[in-house]
Each structure stands twice: as structure tokens, then as C-alpha cells.
């Protein structure tokens, strides 16, 4: 059977561990709040009503595509396009291509940043693999202006960080919603995790100090994975409603 992502690909290693995906989620939650197109998800009211659920479902959807047979993955990508098309019709306006590209860029950046933080540095070839997966997603969505290789992407991503982000009333409200839905302790962990994976520009725009408390905890957490205590720790830091779907993120690879 042909899969969308080759069975030996490092992308499966990245997206096959719940821990890594949670760090991807944390970083994307920070950067997405600054995106100039975030008002599109406020338009439906679904994002502020359940910001954790909405963003988490997006990350889970990406994981499903990574592990799906090729034809199933292509159909899933087509469904994403169809969902956004229906929102465009309701608003009588079109989501700009750069907004879609920015989401793909986030998935590329945080896939690499999270894996390198929790596991090990990726080689140039492995970074190319990460880029290629999301590049093919973008091509299937018929997006324009996509970079064609990882090196081009790094330049394009820097331009995105300069041109497509702003701290707006939506940014401020979204972080308020994160805190409301997570509670003070879990919100603190979210922000401290974000410090470790977001680009410098995102950190400065959100006024996040460079030092993170998670830096002190991370070695202990890595050790806990070796003795199978990591799932116990997750149960302490994650909302109960998300324990089952988070457990399902761990793939046998």
C-alpha cells in the first residue's frame, strides 16, 4: 500500500509521538494568535468558544494525513479545502493564499523545533522530508507562491514572520481564552513551553522572556519517558477531556 508519507520517513517519527505533537500544538497556538488572518476563525465563533479543541483538532487532522494511505490523505486534504470554501461563501470573501501557506509554515517549523527539543537534531535531508510532506499538502490545496525546497522555505518563513503577524485584539483575546479553558497552572505550562519553540520574532511580539521554567523540567520529563512515567505526568498537566485523544496520538512506529 502506498502511503502519503513513506513508512521509513522521519516525519512519522515526529508525528508518531504525543509529546512531540503537544509541543507542536503549543508553538502553533502562540504563532497562530498573531496571524493577521486569525479573524477568519473568529468569524464562525468556533475558535474563541473552544480554542484548545479547535487548534488541537487541526493538529490531530495533520497527524491523520501523515499516517494515512495516499488516497485517503488526498481526500482528507480535499475536505479541508471544502470546509474553508463553505466559510468563504458565508463571509462572501476569500481566504488569501498566504493565510493557508502560513499554517503549513507553522507545521513545518514546529515539527522540526519540537522534535529537536525533545529528541535530537535533524539532518538537512530529514528537514527536506518534513518540508516535502507539507509542500505536497499545499500543492493538493492548489496554493500559489509555495517555495519548492527547504532552503527556499527558510527565506519565505522569515518573510512571513515579518509581514503576516501582528499583535491584535484577537491575539489578546485568544490568550485570554487559552487561560480560561486551561486554568492558570496549565496555561502557565503552555506559555513556558511556547518560549522553547517559537521563533524570536514571535517571542518578542508576545513579550515572552527567553528563560523558560520548562528548561529545568525537561531533562526529568525525558527521563520519565524511559521508565514509562510520562503518561502519568501527562495526566497531571493536561485537561481530562483531552486525555483519550492525546493517548491516541502515540503511534506504534
The secondary element (H helix, E strand) that includes residue 5 is none
> How far apart are the C-alpha atoms of 169 and 182, rounded to whole Å?
20
pLDDT in tens, the chain (253 residues): 899 999 999 999 999 988 888 899 899 999 999 999 887 667 666 667 788 877 777 888 899 999 999 999 999 999 988 887 877 787 777 778 888 899 999 999 999 999 999 999 999 999 999 999 999 999 999 999 999 999 999 999 999 999 999 999 999 999 999 999 888 988 998 999 999 999 999 999 999 999 998 898 888 777 766 655 556 556 555 666 666 666 666 775 5
Hey, what long-range contacts does 140-148 have (CB within 8 A, 24 or more apart)? Answer: 140/74, 140/77, 140/78, 141/77, 141/80, 141/81, 141/100, 142/81, 143/97, 143/100, 143/101, 143/104, 144/97, 145/97, 145/98, 145/101, 146/101, 146/104
Quote the pTM value.
Answer: 0.89
Query: Which sequence spans correspond to the domains of the chain?
Result: 10-247
Amino acid at each position: 500500500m502506498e502511503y502519503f508519507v513513506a513508512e521509513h520517513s522521519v516525519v512519522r517519527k515526529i508525528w508518531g509521538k504525543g509529546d512531540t505533537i503537544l509541543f507542536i500544538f503549543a508553538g502553533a497556538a502562540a504563532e497562530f494568535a498573531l496571524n493577521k488572518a486569525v479573524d477568519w476563525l473568529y468569524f464562525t465563533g468556533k475558535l474563541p468558544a473552544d480554542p484548545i479543541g479547535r487548534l488541537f483538532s487541526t493538529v490531530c487532522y495533520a497527524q491523520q494525513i501523515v499516517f494515512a494511505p495516499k488516497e485517503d490523505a488526498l481526500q482528507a486534504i480535499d475536505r479541508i479545502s471544502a470546509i474553508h470554501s463553505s466559510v468563504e461563501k458565508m463571509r462572501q470573501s476569500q481566504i488569501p493564499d498566504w493565510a493557508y501557506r502560513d499554517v503549513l509554515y507553522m507545521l513545518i517549523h514546529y515539527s522540526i523545533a519540537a522534535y529537536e527539543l525533545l529528541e535530537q537534531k535533524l539532518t538537512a535531508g530529514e528537514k527536506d522530508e518534513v518540508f516535502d510532506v507539507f509542500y505536497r499538502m499545499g500543492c493538493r490545496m492548489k496554493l500559489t507562491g509555495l517555495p519548492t525546497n527547504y532552503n527556499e522555505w527558510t527565506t519565505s518563513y522569515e518573510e512571513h514572520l515579518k509581514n503576516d503577524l501582528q499583535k491584535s485584539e484577537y491575539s489578546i483575546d485568544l490568550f485570554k481564552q487559552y487561560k480560561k479553558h486551561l486554568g492558570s497552572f496549565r496555561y502557565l505550562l503552555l506559555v513556558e513551553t511556547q518560549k522553547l519553540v517559537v521563533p524570536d520574532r514571535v517571542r518578542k511580539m508576545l513579550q515572552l522572556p527567553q528563560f523558560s521554567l520548562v528548561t529545568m523540567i525537561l531533562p526529568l520529563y525525558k527521563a520519565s519517558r524511559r521508565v514509562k512515567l510520562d503518561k502519568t505526568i501527562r495526566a497531571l498537566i493536561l485537561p481530562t477531556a483531552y486525555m483519550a485523544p492525546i493517548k491516541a496520538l502515540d503511534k506504534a512506529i
